[in-house]
Amino acid sequence: MSGRTHDRPQLNLLTAFQLTCGDVPVPLTLPAQRVLGFLALQNRPLPRDYVAGTLWIDSSEQHATGSLRSALWRLRRCDADLVETQGRQLRLADTVSVDSRLAADWARRLLDPDTPLSELDIAGIPESGDLLPGWYDDWVLMERERLRELLLHALEQLCGRLLEAGRHGHALEAAHAAVRMEPLRESGHRSVIMVHLAEGNQADAIRQYGLFRRLLRDELRLEPSAHMHELVHGLIAR
């Protein structure tokens, strides 16, 4: 691999961990993956001792420091510059593009009511994959939940804005993306139903309500909220 501009490293944390440079996968050991993932999610300079202590929390200080040193050595063997060292601090290099950061930036733009809706934002609905699936460290779990909530609110906001603009097809796409991301979240299903009602597709609205009601009963033994029921009550009662 070369250091050319179009070979900018791409770090994917959604759906699965993958590092590519110039579209070529870069194999990394698990310790090196953990260091890179941790720095990517923290998005700020971090003391080396803090990184080592967090990633190797069950190890002695000496072993944790040695493990971090070994992981950094392996990362430096890559042709691309991945980690910047600033004294005793580490951070992900600015040249590395991270999909989870791009997804978070997309969500924050949409949640800002003063941001005009662009075609790029509509076309850029992120994938519904979890952040670093199969990783169960506390630092991953917290960031996974934070990003999930951010994206869900953005998708529902996008659906509402598109619905107001009369762009029902795109609104439905955003609503379904929210449902795929969290099938048990009622507000996503409500968004789908509201789009169907706006289009006059009453049967589709009732079908979506029934699907969510069965899912909620089977998984949690709960019933939809009164707010959800009110959306289709007049249709069901006929």
192 and 111 share one domain = yes
Closest CA to 216 of 193, 194, 189, 236: 189
Q: What is the span of the domain harbouring residue 192?
A: 102-236
Q: Is residue 162 pLDDT above 70, yes or no?
A: yes
Q: What is the DSSP letter of 127?
A: P
Is there a single domain that holds both residue 107 and residue 224? yes
Per-residue model confidence as pLDDT tens digits over 51-77: 999 999 999 999 999 999 999 999 988
Structure tokens at 15: 């759906």
Pair 226, 162 in one domain: yes
| Domain shared by 57 and 116, yes or no | no
91 and 135 housed in the same domain: no
CATH of the domain at 200: 1.25.40
Residues 6 or more apart from 45 whose CB is under 8 A from it? 86, 89, 90, 91
User: Considering the entire predicted model, what is its pTM?
Assistant: 0.89
Query: Quick one: 42 and 69 in the same domain?
Result: yes
Residues written for the chain: 238
Which one is predicted more confidently, 220 or 80?
220
pLDDT at 175 over 50: yes
Same domain, 225 and 186: yes
pLDDT digits (tens, 9 = 90+) for 23-32: 899 999 999 9
- Considering its fold, how many domains does the chain have in total? 2
What mean pLDDT do residues 83-104 have?
94
Shared-domain flag, residues 48 and 68: yes
What CATH number has the domain bearing residue 14? 1.10.10.10
- pLDDT for position 156: 96
Calculate the average pLDDT of the chain.
91
